[in-house]
Amino acid sequence: MDNQELLKIAVKAADDKRAEDILALDMRGISLIADYFIICHGNSDKQVQAIAREMKEKAQEDGYDVKRIEGFDEATWVLIDLGDVVAHVFHRDERSYYNLERLWGDAPHVDILSELNS
């Protein structure tokens, strides 16, 4: 199993729970933290938690370790550490405030539509 497969699993899980504006960034050579970042948002606390829970469960079903989950109870910014893939699931209002897309603007975008359709 590789990082791209894990990326695909996590993106599909977010999409299955109707996450909005799903974005995947290729962080290789930019960050030592992870190879890929996923950024998405939900429109309510419950949806943010459902997205995070689905990512965790689908990764575990496919044999990946979930290293850590932060922010689940508050549901404003949930970070799911899957090792080489780190997912940021925001509440809609928080996403624009933190604007990780701008912070990591030099990272290439991964074509997630092909990930969802393959």
**DSSP string of 14-39, one letter each residue:** HHHTT-EEEEEEE-TTT-SS-SEEEE
Name residue 42's amino acid.
G
What CATH number should be reported for the domain holding residue 61?
3.30.460.10
Q: Which pLDDT belongs to residue 115?
A: 64
Number of domains making up the chain:
1
What is the Cα–Cα distance from 13 to 16, expressed in whole angstroms?
A: 5
Split at pLDDT 50, 70, 90, the class of 118 is low
Q: Which pLDDT belongs to residue 70?
A: 97
Split at pLDDT 50, 70, 90, the class of 24 is very high
Split at pLDDT 50, 70, 90, the class of 1 is low
Q: Is the pTM of this model over 0.75?
A: yes
Q: Is it the case that residue 73 has pLDDT exceeding 70?
A: yes
What is the Cα–Cα distance from 65 to 73, expressed in whole angstroms?
A: 21
What is the Cα–Cα distance from 35 to 28, expressed in whole angstroms?
A: 5
**DSSP string of 66-100, one letter each residue:** --EEESTTT-SEEEEE-SSEEEEEEEHHHHHHH-H
Average pLDDT score over residue span 49-59: 97
- Which structural domain range is residue 89 located in? 3-117
